[in-house]
Structure 1
Amino acid sequence: MRALLASLLCITALPAGAADGAALFSTHCTACHQPGGVGVPGLAPPLAGTLGERLKIAGRGYLPRVVTHGMTGPITVNGQRYTGAMPPFGAQMDDEALAAVLNYVVTGFNGDSLPEGHQPFSAAELAEARAEKLAPHEVRKLRDGVRKGSGS
């Protein structure tokens, strides 16, 4: 119940054309992931200091699919187990806004651990992820680098 309530708090309408990643994160993500992306033990995993390594394992296509389709299933981050659900934001935010949030989180909270040559996420990458029909449990499988038919 607590995870569901937190997920619902994370979903709100977004003004058209907004693309300020820091402001969007503050408005739409901090209820679950907290300011600075530190997370809430057992509820929402930390984003800070964890996503650079995850990009190296899961590939570049993973995070765009998490934000567009959501994710369900158990994960472990920094030794802590999480069993909540990440809600999809594909209906609440356009591709430009989602790219802005990802770029803010990835570079702002994980800049020192990004894969070599990392480039910012583009709205086109988010549109590609959005077009792919995935269930949240299928996105979870991408976390460990398991992907059918693609090198993403």
Structure 2
Amino acid sequence: MDDIREHYLAWLRDAHAMEEQALTMMRGMLSRLEHYPVLCARMEKHIAETERQAESLRKLLEGRDSGTSAVKDVLGKATALGQALSGMFADDEVIKGAMASYTFEQMEIAAYKVLISTAAVLEDTTAMAVFEENLAEEQDMADWLFDHLDQTTRIFLARDEAGLPARR
């Protein structure tokens, strides 16, 4: 059981770092969505959810005598910042950002499934409830992004065709 617990805590630290990375990515993208109000509003909602998720994971780690991984948090934030900054120079950054966000949501969904399975083995019902809530929010966001890719793409294409700043 000690090996399982070690994996569990490592995956929990990874999930916290993942949520911190998501926040950096979304905040970077948010500032460039002024012509996409529906996407902007949904991103703002998910930022609030993600802030709560990161805090819940931090509390779970502290309650299990395992702090967050400062190195993973910093590396994740640096990676996300690099991704956000690199999008500033792409003409189609909104589309690439939406696609990257959808992909990232799928990774988060998989991470929470792993955590739920491991928490079940360890009978950590308190954490399972947190992971299940986070999983539902990540699934909702992934579904929303997928369902709105057509709309986002069409807005982008119309703005580009009209000679308007399509990036923003």
TM-score (normalizing by structure 1): 0.28
More helix, by proportion: 2
Q: Considering only CA atoms, is the larger Rg found in Structure 1 or Structure 2? A: 2
TM-score (normalizing by structure 2): 0.26
